[in-house]
Amino acid sequence: MSRHPERVISLVPSLTETVLDLGLPPERLVGRTAWCDSPPCVRRVRRVGGTKTPMIGRILKLKPDLVLMDAEENRLQDHRSLREAGIEILLSTTRCVADVPDLLRALGDRLGLASGVKAADCLQRALDGLRTPSETSAGPAVLPLIWLDPLMALGPDRYGGDLLRRAGFRLALPSAATAYPVVNPADPGTPSPDWLLLSSEPWAFTMHEGRQLQQAFHLAGRHKPRLRRLDGKLLTWFGSRTVEGLAACVSLRRELQRIQL
């Protein structure tokens, strides 16, 4: 653990982006998933499968010093297989925005990147400068949709939901919402949202699908919500993108509030 790893594999798209943004030389990144597409230089890095379908054999042949994983993004069985093969793993357990500064510091420390501390401090200042959710309780009620069939949303105890909440939105979810609740427009326990936020990933919602969902709320005798498409990466990619995602969500909240006036 004393030396910094020279052969890194990332199985998490947002962590791939983050370590390169923090200054990891691209030649030290020897493997990434098919979903790791940012920054552009990463496309020259060898692919080792997907986040849920990593090619363990290929990973072992690349002889990594360190593999980056996330407790939710990746499967426990793959984590176990790599550990049993003697591979060191840096495991993210990011669940909310407040977890990200420590993640940035951990990545910087393990990879020998001084910018990790700087990025963490920058994010912490941005978080400290936000008003508390109670001060923005009049923010728009939004339903942040991430999957079509079944219709699923981001819950309040996951990174994307927490990002929206910190930006001043109210989440139009049942009171007993799970991490990724299945939503039924006809369910009286689901609050009527002012807006449907149509994420571009993991499901790339179209406006046609959004209008169908609007109609479903209307046919259920509910308030007909407005539609807004949203860059899914800004909403769900934690790490170096968090400051940008937070600013974008605050800006969006202000814009939607103006429209509602």
When the candidates are 3.40.30.10, 3.20.20.370, 3.40.50.1980, 2.40.50.140, the CATH number that belongs to 133-260 is 3.40.50.1980
For residue 260, what pLDDT is reported?
A: 81
Would you state the pLDDT for residue 174? 83
| Confidence (pLDDT) at 178 | 82
pLDDT at 135: 46
pLDDT for residue 3: 87
- Which superfamily is assigned to 8-128 in CATH? Nitrogenase molybdenum iron protein domain (3.40.50.1980)
Structure tokens at 89: 């793993």
Task: Give the DSSP letter of residue 147.
Answer: E
Give residue 133's pLDDT. Answer: 54
What are the residue ranges of CATH 3.40.50.1980 in the chain?
Answer: 8-128, 133-260
For every residue of 17-63, DSSP letters joined together read: HHHHHTT--GGGEEEE-TT---SGGGGGSPB-B-SSSB-HHHHHHT-
pLDDT at position 134: 52
Phi-psi region of 139 (alpha: psi -120 to 50; beta: other; left: phi over 0): beta
pLDDT by 10s per residue, the chain, length 261: 458 999 999 999 999 999 999 999 999 999 999 999 999 999 999 999 999 999 999 999 999 999 999 999 999 999 999 999 999 999 999 999 999 999 999 999 999 999 999 999 999 999 998 865 554 457 999 999 999 999 999 999 999 999 999 999 999 998 777 889 999 999 988 899 999 999 999 999 999 999 999 999 999 999 899 999 999 999 999 999 999 999 999 999 999 999 987
